[in-house]
């Protein structure tokens, strides 16, 4: 299951470029490895942004129903790959759906600022960031800029789980932005597709 970023909801240029590499990833997984790949369709927004608590919770409930149908009809293992708000929706699902099995959770561009507790049975967690995904943190009256090399492991340490996690790691892709597009606006995303496919397969 692929949950794209809010850029794809807005339909802006970044969203269109993101869908190009996500479709390439889906084609690779389907044609070479016979995976069934499903893109998550977000609910229609009624005011507020895609990062609002209401929107994320509504999306989580839809995801919950969709995954329940997939488990019943397909009886196969499920992996979740989410980008930005998509990663947050997937994370909220994992935190609130106790006992459900998700083989693999790949979170892209989601800064986990505080403690989260996963109640689903999730075997593998990968936090993926573009190396140029800058986060601004306020310390008292001072603002500090952090890069994934600084905050990636902190995000991972903020995750605890009800069930044992077999593998967890942070992956930082050089010269990539928040949604893993090339930071300079040029170049292709072939290497991104290969790295993400390896994370799905492993």
Quote the pLDDT of residue 46: 63
State the Cα–Cα distance between residues 118 and 73, nearest whole angstrom: 25
Q: Which residue has the higher pLDDT, 24 or 202?
A: 24
Quote the pLDDT of residue 123: 95
Q: Percentage of the chain surpassing pLDDT 70?
A: 94
Q: Is residue 101 over pLDDT 60?
A: yes
Compute the average pLDDT of residues 92-120: 95
Cβ density class 16-42: b for 16+ within 10 Å, e for less: ebbbebbebbbebbeeeeebebeebeb
The CATH H-level (homologous superfamily) assignment of domain 2-201 is Alpha/Beta hydrolase fold, catalytic domain (3.40.50.1820)
E strands along the chain, which residues? 2-3, 79-83, 101-108, 116-118, 121-130, 135-139, 142-146, 159-161, 167-173
Q: Is residue 74 over pLDDT 90?
A: no
Quote the pLDDT of residue 137: 85
Cα 84 from chain centroid?
6
Give me the residue spans of the domains in the chain: 2-201
Cβ density class 114-127: b for 16+ within 10 Å, e for less: eeeebbbbbbbbbb
Compute the average pLDDT of residues 38-62: 84
Q: Is residue 138 over pLDDT 60?
A: yes
* Weakest mean pLDDT among 48-57, 75-84, 175-184: 48-57
Q: Is residue 48 over pLDDT 80?
A: no
Quote the pLDDT of residue 47: 58
Question: Which residues does 146 contact at the CB level (< 8 Å), separation at least 6?
Answer: 134, 135, 136, 137
Quote the pLDDT of residue 195: 97
Quote the pLDDT of residue 82: 98
């Amino acid at each position: 299951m692929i949950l794209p970023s809010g850029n794809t909801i807005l339909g802006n240029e970044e969203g269109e470029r993101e869908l190009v590499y996500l479709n390439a990833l889906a084609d690779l997984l389907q044609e070479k490895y016979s995976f069934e790949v499903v893109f998550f369709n977000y609910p229609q927004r009624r005011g507020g942004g895609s990062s609002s608590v209401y929107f994320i919770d509504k999306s989580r409930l839809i995801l919950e129903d969709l995954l329940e149908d997939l488990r019943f009809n397909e009886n196969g293992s499920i992996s979740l790959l989410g980008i930005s708000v998509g990663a947050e929706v997937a994370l909220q699902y994992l935190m609130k759906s106790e006992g459900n099995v998700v083989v693999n959770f790949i979170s892209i561009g989601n800064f986990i600022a505080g403690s989260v507790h996963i109640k689903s049975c999730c075997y593998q967690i990968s936090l993926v960031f573009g190396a140029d995904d800058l986060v601004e943190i306020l310390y008292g009256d001072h603002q500090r800029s952090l890069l994934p090399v600084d905050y990636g492991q902190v995000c991972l340490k903020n995750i605890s789980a009800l069930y044992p996690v077999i593998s967890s790691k942070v992956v930082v892709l050089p010269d990539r932005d928040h949604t893993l597009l090339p930071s300079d606006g040029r170049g292709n995303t072939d290497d991104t597709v290969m790295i993400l496919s390896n994370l799905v397969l492993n």
